[in-house]
Amino acid sequence: MISQFLKGFSNCFKVPELRQKILFTLGILAAYRLGCYIPTPGINGAALNAFFQKMNAASGGGNVVGIMDMFSGGALGKMTVLSLGVMPYISSSIIMQLLTAVIPALEKLSKEGSAGYKKINQYTRYGTVGLAVIQAFFIALWLESPATFGGMQVVTDPGWGFRLTTVVTLTAGTVFLMWLGERIQEKGIGNGMSLVITSGILSRAPTAYHTLTLLMNNNSGSAQVQPIALVLMIILLVAVIIAVTLISQGQRRIPVQYARRGGSVSTAVGQGTFIPLKVDTAGIIAIIFAQSIILFPATISSFLPHTNTTWMAHIVSWIQRGHWPYYLLYAGLIVFFCYFYTAIVFNPVDVAENLKKHGGFVPGIRPGKETADYLDYVLTRITVVGSLFICVIAVMPDAIYSAFNVPYLVASFFGGTGVLITVGVMLDTMKQIESHLQMHHYEGFMKYGQLRGRNLGGVSYGTGTVTR
């Protein structure tokens, strides 16, 4: 398998068109990483960095700011021009997808093909700019408050000049990232926005490795992480990657046949068609929503350390990481959002009506309402498996953090949002590269089987289309 993968990798550079796409994509990602080190004007970077380190140490590194910092590739912790990352775009995409399901005008627009998609994509861009402006403004207000940072003055010259500069700078950074992602989409390989996020996540790997090395060989002479623990962590990492790959590729294929007229008699001819129902339709969206809700009180409390909020302190202590209410609530939110998002992106009634309109039917199931009920029955049950798996993956970093006594930065590579994003995006990119190789009669990454990718942000999560 490894030799086949290496052979497929070498074949990538034998096709001029594919080689150009890969090099273009790498160049765009290099420009993105360079932008993550350009500081925002008017900010004391040393004071801000000290605050974030203190905040991560108090919360284990798993607060909402830590999640946003992961999506921004570490730019938020340094408060650079790309601090907002592509989170406004992801939020706008999810909002537009939810609105499309509830607003008839947008739903009609989504069914108009390429023209409707371009219009919705334009609305998504407008929403991205609006969300970026709002987030940047509140970040500027937060940075200006010395009480938040223990009396330290993070902003050298507070006022409306700083606020406007910060809003323009951070919003321009988000728009620039959106433009880079679209350039990858047009001239590169893979999903642009997803690759930008993945490169940011992977950029934290050297720091995590360095931290783990320091724990293995500290100055006291006694390693905090024993070799046997490191071996177990490596085995666990491989197992998690394999499990995420299998679940991400997992489908329940509903067979479909189409009626075809032969002479004066109508006959049903099986043509090998099926409806792919993904085991994990929601994916990372459920974790993002659940994390944002459950970590919100603790994050607000850390931002307002001197405010007498007794009720919030009780909430924070009740759902603190490491306590069983936290994990129960976390798992419950993940399961809820898995079903909620699946219901938004897949409508069994629409799929059943489309099948009936084109003369298709599921063998043994009457067209129309019975087909819709059957699809809903199957999807509801396979979502149980997908949601429970997502729950296990979501709590894996916490389990590693507690069991092996390693920093949360290291533990985050053993599960959670980062692993789901990285594996899913890599599968999607490999699928596109393999398609180019097969088109030019070269062997791909797999000798047998087929790769199925998935994009980020709910763009193509289980649309319920019929595959031939």
Domain ranges of the chain: 1-15+202-468, 36-188
Q: Give the pLDDT score at 468.
A: 39
Q: CA-CA distances (angstroms) from residue 51 to 143, 150, 153, 266, 402?
A: 11, 9, 11, 73, 24
DSSP string, 404-439: S---HHHHGGGSHHHHHHHHHHHHHHHHHHHHHHHH
Of 251, 284, 287, nearest to 385 by C-alpha is: 251
CB 251 within 8 Å of CB 228: no
10-residue stretch averages of pLDDT, the chain, 468 residues long? 69 84 93 90 79 66 65 81 88 85 84 85 93 91 76 82 93 94 89 88 85 71 70 88 87 83 49 81 80 68 54 64 78 89 86 86 88 92 91 86 79 81 86 82 63 50 37
> Which of 380, 379, 357 is closest to 368 using CA atoms?
357
- Contact by Cβ (8 Å): 331, 292: no
Q: What is the DSSP secondary structure assignment for residue 79, as one 8-state letter? A: T
Answer whether 120's CB lies under 8 Å from 110's CB. yes
- Look-up: residue for tokens 């306590």? 323
Please check whether residue 426 is in contact with residue 198, taking contact to mean a CB–CB distance below 8 angstroms. Answer: yes
The CA distance from 346 to 328, in Å, is 27
- 265-278 and 251-262 strand pairing: antiparallel
Please tell me whether residue 360 adopts helix, strand or coil conformation.
strand
Phi and psi based region of residue 429 (left: phi greater than 0; alpha: psi -120 to 50; beta: remaining) = alpha
CB atoms near residue 128 (< 10 Å): 25
Tokens 């000049």, located at residue: 161
CATH superfamily to which 1-15+202-468 belongs: SecY subunit domain (1.10.3370.10)
Inter-residue contact 34 to 204 (CB < 8 Å): no
CA angle (404 as vertex; 400, 406 as ends), nearest 5: 80
Q: Provide the 10 A C-beta neighbour count for residue 97.
A: 21
Q: Give the tokens for residue 160.
A: 């409306």
Amino acid sitting at position 5: F
- Find residue 253's DSSP bridge partners: 276
Secondary structure class of 405 (helix, strand, coil) = coil
Q: What is the pLDDT at residue 455?
A: 52
pLDDT at 465: 40
What was the pLDDT predicted at 459?
Answer: 39
Residue 388: CA count within 13 A, CB half-sphere: 6
Cα(111)–Cα(116) distance, rounded to whole angstroms?
Answer: 7
Q: Which helix (H) or strand (E) holds 28?
A: helix 16-35
Largest CA distance in the chain: 88
Instruction: Round to whole Å and give the CA distance between 390 and 319.
Output: 20
Contact 165, 42 (CB under 8 A): yes
Q: Token digits for 27?
A: 């160049």
| Six token digits for residue 289 | 């929503």
